[in-house]
Amino acid sequence: MIAHGKDIKVFSGNANRRLADEICEQMGTTLGKAEVGAFSDGEVYVSLFETVRGSDVFVVQSTCNPVNNNLMELLIIIDALKRASAGRITAVIPYYGYARQDRKAKARDPITAKLVANMITAAGADRVLTMDLHASQIQGFFDIPVDNLAGNPIFVDYYGKKFGSDCENMIVVSPDVGSVSRARAFAQKLHMNLAIVDKRRQKANQCEVMNVIGDVRDKDCIIFDDMVDTGGSLCNAAQALVEVGGARSVHACASHGVLSGPAIDRINESVIQELALLDTIPAIDPNLSSKIKYLSVGPMFSDAIERIYQEISISKLFR
C-alpha cells in the first residue's frame, strides 16, 4: 500500500473509536498504538507508542458530545504527531462540531466555526477530511485543503435497495427552506420530486404555522436533513406532512445524529416510521429506540483515506 515512500498510520481519540476500528479493518491495517486519556483534573494527555517519523498519519476524531473534550483530544493528538515528526497529518473529522456557528446572526456574535478551523491548523494539521459540513463555506475558513464528503450516496444506496422500483409514490422533503439545495440534490439522485415544509411565526409568542409546499397527499415521504439535534424541527415537519399535507407515511434520514435533550423521546412519539442516521457520531443504545437505524460511513472514509494517501482524486466518492 506504499504510494509515495511513506507508510500510512491511523490514530484515534475517544470520540468514535468503533468507527476508527472499522476504517482500519476496511483498509487492512490496525489502529496506531496510543493512549488518550485525562488526568484527575480533566486535562487531556496523549502518549504515542510507535514511531510516526515521516509517516502519512490520519487522526479519526469526531468533535461530538462532549464537544470541548473531544476537540482538545484532536488538537493534542495532532500536536503530539507534529512534534514526533510525522510526514503529513490529516484530521479526519466525520462530524465537525461548532459548524452551526458559521456567521454573525446578530451583533457581537462570534464565528466559532472559524476559530475551530484556526485551532486545527495551528495545532499542525496539513489537511482535513470531513462529511456534510452544516455550512459548506466552512471549507473556506481553513488555510489548508478540506475534503467535504457527501453522505447522500449512502442514503441513495440504502433507499434504492429498501424500496427498489416501488418509488413512484415517494417524494423527498426538505424540513425547512434553508435545506432545500441539499434535499434537491438527494431527490435528483433518487429520481423523486421535492417538497418543502415552510414554518413561520405570524406574530411574536404565537405558535409556528407549518405550510407544505408541494403535493404530498397519499405519498410516502423521506425527510432529508444534515443533522438531528433535539429533533423538534424534524418531528414537527413530519407532523405537518401528515396533518396538513395528507402524506401516507414519513421516513427520515440525516447525516449526523446529535440526538441531544428530548430528541429520542420526540422521535419515538412522532409519526416518523424510521430515522436513518450515519454513524459519524457513536450510535445510541438500540434499546432506546426501535425507529433509529444506523448506516456505516466506514467504507467511504477508508476509501477516501486511501485515495488521499495515494494522491488520487476522491471526486468519485461524491457520485
In this predicted structure, the answer to whether residue 153 has a pLDDT above a threshold of 60 is: yes
Q: How far apart are CA 100 and CA 109, in angstroms?
A: 12
pLDDT for 209 equals: 63
**CB-side exposure of 289: number of CA atoms within 13 Å?**
23
> Can you tell me the mean pLDDT for 243-262?
95
Other beta carbons within 10 Å of 243? 12
pLDDT for 205 equals: 47
**pLDDT tens digits, one per residue of 293-312:** 999 999 999 999 999 999 99
**pLDDT tens digits, one per residue of 202-246:** 555 444 667 899 999 999 999 999 999 999 889 999 999 999 999
6, 82, 161, 199: the active-site residue: 199
Highest mean pLDDT: which range of 3-17, 199-213, 247-261:
247-261
In this predicted structure, the answer to whether residue 5 has a pLDDT above a threshold of 70 is: no
**CB-side exposure of 142: number of CA atoms within 13 Å?**
24
Q: Which residue's C-alpha cell is 498504538?
A: 33
Cβ-proximal residues to 10 (8 Å cutoff; 6+ apart), any chain: 20, 23, 24, 27, 29, 31, 32, 57, 58, 59, 60, 305
> Can you tell me the mean pLDDT for 52-80?
97
**pLDDT tens digits, one per residue of 76-132:** 999 999 999 999 999 999 999 999 999 998 999 999 999 999 999 999 999 999 999
Which ranges constitute the DSSP H helices of 49-111? 67-83
Q: How far apart are CA 211 and CA 241, in angstroms?
A: 9
Residue type at position 52: V
Residue type at position 226: D
Instruction: Classify residue 297 by burial, with Cβ atoms within 10 Å: 0-12, 13-18, 19+.
Output: buried
Counting residues of the chain whose pLDDT is more than 70, the rounded percentage is 94
CB 57 within 8 A of CB 74: no
> Can you tell me the mean pLDDT for 175-186?
89
Q: How far apart are CA 252 and CA 221, in angstroms?
A: 8
In this predicted structure, the answer to whether residue 72 has a pLDDT above a threshold of 60 is: yes
In this predicted structure, the answer to whether residue 3 has a pLDDT above a threshold of 70 is: no
Question: Among 49, 59, 46, 48, which Cα is nearest to 8's?
Answer: 59
**pLDDT tens digits, one per residue of 16-28:** 999 999 999 999 9
Counting residues of the chain whose pLDDT is more than 90, the rounded percentage is 83
pLDDT for 208 equals: 65
Residue type at position 180: V
- In sequence order, what are the beta bridge partners of 127? 90
Instruction: Name the 3-class secondary structure at 136.
Output: helix
* Sign of the CA dihedral with 308 first, then 137, 59, and 96 last: negative
Q: How confident is the model at residue 2 (pLDDT cuts 50, 70, 90)?
A: very low
> Can you tell me the mean pLDDT for 175-195?
90
Q: Which residue's C-alpha cell is 473509536?
A: 17
199 has catalytic annotation: yes
| Weakest mean pLDDT among 29-38, 151-160, 186-195, 199-208 | 199-208
